[in-house]
Amino acid sequence: MNDMMPNDLRADCSNCFGLCCVALPYAKSADFAFDKDGGTPCRNLQSNFHCAIHQDLREKGFRGCAAYECFGAGQKVSQVTFEGHDWRHDTSSANEMFAVFPIMQQLHEMLWYIKEALSIDAAQSIHRDLVAVFEETENLTRQSKESILNLDVHEHRAKVNDLLLRTSELVRAKAVHKNRPKKIGRGSSLIGAKLKGADLRGANLRGALLIAADLRNCDVRMADFIGADLRDADLSGANLTGSIFLTQAQVNAAKGDIHTKLPPSLRIPDHWKKVLS
């Protein structure tokens, strides 16, 4: 795989108008310290659109914010769709901007997955189809705000997902595993599961609930992680190299250590480093 994803598929908060801090709602929970309605600025959002507690989000009760990734949708909406006009000064377009943002986030997430699929040798047989759907998706992100708001995201996601599933099958078919636990599979409920040291090579973990699961020292190479919930899953010592469709947001929500092996496109989260220091 490529060692880096394009910068335009990573969040660039310096070129965004704090859209995730305004457009999205959240409820008081283990991930958020208080309730916030969609379209209402977070009380921690400053006048320059920066977060006042960005360096201490987890310690202040905002683990959800620390894990969140817009895949570059924030700067696309701010600088391209709305041509640099922010919602504070152009209040007439604020609601439209807040409605466009979550749609753009979905499109950019698709672009991230397709871009990864394009870098996988095992998926060469469908490379042309992947290129076509990448270009189609990119073109959708550059439409007018009115067109984006009228877009049938579910229909387009189904088209993209078909190719991602084919990519997954091609990758996982090459995995050799021994004695994989029978309960492992797409959409599995593995909350708190004790899987330390398990051989999960080539596992289909799409949509799996791995909240607080013990995945220490697991071999998870060539596993598919699309939509898997890794909140508080312990990845200490786990080998995730060659795993597919694992995002930085999922890694940020998990636990790990210096011995965790991640795909080269992902980085060790800051809170892992704090535990190690």
Query: What confidence tens digit (pLDDT) does each residue in 106-127 have?
Result: 999 999 999 999 999 999 999 9
* Average pLDDT for 160-185: 90
Categorize the per-residue pLDDT at 3 as very low, low, confident or very high, splitting at 50, 70 and 90: very low
Q: pLDDT per residue over 190-202, tens digit each?
A: 999 999 999 999 9
Asked if 176 contacts 196 with a C-beta cutoff of 8 angstroms, the reply is no
User: How far apart are alpha carbons 137 and 71 in whole angstroms?
Assistant: 14
101 Cβ contact list (under 8 Å, min separation 6): 19, 20, 23, 24, 70, 73, 74, 77
Q: Is the pLDDT of residue 4 over 70?
A: no
Whole-number pLDDT of residue 178? 75
Helix axes 94-118, 127-141, angle to 10 degrees: 170
Question: What global pTM score does this model have?
Answer: 0.92
Whole-number pLDDT of residue 185? 87
Whole-number pLDDT of residue 1? 35
In DSSP terms, 239 is beta-bridged to: 219, 261
Whole-number pLDDT of residue 276? 53
Q: Coil, helix or strand for 39?
A: coil
Categorize the per-residue pLDDT at 274 as very low, low, confident or very high, splitting at 50, 70 and 90: low
How many percent of the chain have pLDDT more than 90? 88
Asked if 199 contacts 179 with a C-beta cutoff of 8 angstroms, the reply is yes
* Average pLDDT for 155-161: 97
Q: What are the residue ranges spanned by the domains of the chain?
A: 7-172, 177-277
Q: Is the pLDDT of residue 215 over 60?
A: yes
**Topology (CATH level 3) of domain 177-277:** Pectate Lyase C-like (2.160.20)
Q: CA torsion sign, 36 to 40 to 45 to 49?
A: positive
Which two structure tokens, joined as six digits, stand for 114?
A: 């397709």
Whole-number pLDDT of residue 181? 76
* Average pLDDT for 24-41: 95
**Cα distances (angstroms) measured from residue 14 to each of 23, 51, 227:** 17, 11, 28
How many percent of the chain have pLDDT more than 70? 96
Whole-number pLDDT of residue 28? 95
Whole-number pLDDT of residue 270? 83
Tell me the one-letter amino acid at 209.
L
